[in-house]
Structure 1
């Protein structure tokens, strides 16, 4: 009996140490991943957060060259604005989905919105352009859209707004994000910077 009492505290102490080290390791790994992924940037409305993933660079480039750049950021179109809780919930859910796909290298060449995202964007089109679609002179046009085209979205016709005609990772040879209006530094992914350096070295 005394032998059992002597062993039991050691076992308890050993498992406590293992649990503490495991939890600390997981927290440390999580903090490192959050730092490397620039997680805090996703809490802002800065469009540059989207090009943390290099596959989004063509989309960012096309937005930078559109008229929407002066009026709307990515979040203005791609997250709901009914309340702040739903906004950040949708952002987190969509962001985790994107991060998973990009981490697994399973992203398609051309990125399309999912059905849930389409509804959000459609609602935001109406939210921003409500004056145009409620003007009396457009009454007949609006009614025809309601009765004949219920399944259509704004971008069924306005296909090039705001992301242009060309989409996908292969549409631009070097997908380098242009200089933002409020910064002087060009955003270049590390892998692309390395490739450019190698091609310059080979050219010499």
Structure 2
């Protein structure tokens, strides 16, 4: 008795064989694409996940050379933090939109946030800088102090925070490739780290 007839003893088993074969191909391609696209990296807070797409190189580099690098990753600014379910829902929705645009090669030369993303970033600006925004000492002599600082977008004044002046895709050619940040958040090269260590060692010996 043939192998597949032993598995599917009833008649007309050919469609089952075809279905299993197509399902295996579909699952195999799915796992391959997930691995090549580094899909698991998007579940982390690692900023380098953002440069899986080369079009984000200039944005990544401008952030990496800003003061925000020491305090905030991409997710700290661009993902909501009100609850974990909304965080991953927004991340998935925004990520699928970005992936579809980049796959279709339909990205604009200069990228701007959509309205939902603007609201998230604004809320995160206030979340981190709430003391500067709501300092009560100014409320007494500056009219509408609180509303002036919360009713408008923070980047209407702080236009170069944290990504600087260069936002277009054409600036990528003038950027070096992304430098991996160390676990401690620094980008000090190994030779300089050794030099500092030796200098400190010589100082302690004296």
TM range (shorter): 0.7 to 0.9
- Structure 1 stretch displaced more, 169-178 or 115-124: 169-178
The answer to whether the Cα contact below 8 Å between 1:51 and 1:57 also exists between their aligned partners in 2 is yes
Please name the residue that 1:143 is paired with. Answer: 144
Residues 81 and 87, structure 1, Cα contact 8 Å, conserved in 2: yes
Classify 1:172/1:97 alpha carbon distance in 2 versus 1 (closer, same or farther; 3 Å): closer
C-alpha distance in 2, partners of 1:74/1:124? 11
Unaligned runs of 5+ in 2: 1-9, 188-206
TM-score relative to the length of structure 1: 0.79
Return the TM-score normalized by structure 2.
0.78
In structure 2, the residue matched to 1:27 is 27
**Could you say if the C-alpha distance between residues 46 and 22 of structure 1 is closer, same or farther in structure 2, counting changes exceeding 3 Å?**
same
Indicate yes or no: 2:58 matched with 1:53: no
Q: Which position in structure 1 is the counterpart of 2:97?
A: 97
Which residue is 1:14 aligned to?
Answer: 14
Q: Which residue of 1 aligns with 2:63?
A: 63
Distance in 2 between residues matched to 1:137 and 1:104, nearest whole Å? 52
Q: CA deviation at 1:22?
A: 1.4
Aligned-pair CA distance for 1:21? 1.2
Query: 2:71 and 2:149 mapped to 1: Cα distance?
Result: 31
> 2:170 aligned with 1:170, yes or no?
yes
Q: 1:27 to 1:82 in 2, by over 3 A?
A: same
Per-residue CA deviation, residues 180-200 of structure 1 (Å, 9 max, x unaligned), is 33188xxxxxxxxxxxxxxxx
Alpha-carbon offset, residue 142 of structure 1: 7.7
2:133 aligned with 1:128 = no
**Aligned alpha-carbon RMSD (Å):** 2.2
1:15, CA displacement in angstroms? 1.2
The answer as to whether partners of 2:133 and 2:150 remain within 8 angstroms in 1 is no
- Evaluate the alpha carbon distance shift between residue 97 and residue 15 of structure 1 in structure 2; reply closer, same or farther with a 3 A threshold: same
- In structure 2, distance between residues paired with 1:21 and 1:141: 72
Does the aligned pair in 2 maintain the 1:133–1:142 contact within 8 Å? no
Correspondence 1:115 to 2:115: yes
- Stretches of structure 1 that go unaligned for 5 or more consecutive residues are 1-8, 185-204
Report the Cα offset of residue 145 of structure 1. Answer: 6.1
- Offset at 1:106? 0.3
Task: Determine if contact 1:60/1:177 at 8 Å carries over to the other structure.
Answer: no
Partner SS, residue 107 of structure 1: coil
> Which portions of structure 1, spanning 4 or more consecutive aligned residues, are displaced by more than 4 angstroms?
none
Corresponding residue pairs, total: 175
Cα deviation per residue 1:41-62 (whole Å; 9 max; x = unaligned)? 0111000000000000010011
In 2, the alpha carbon distance for the partners of 1:148 and 1:137 equals 14
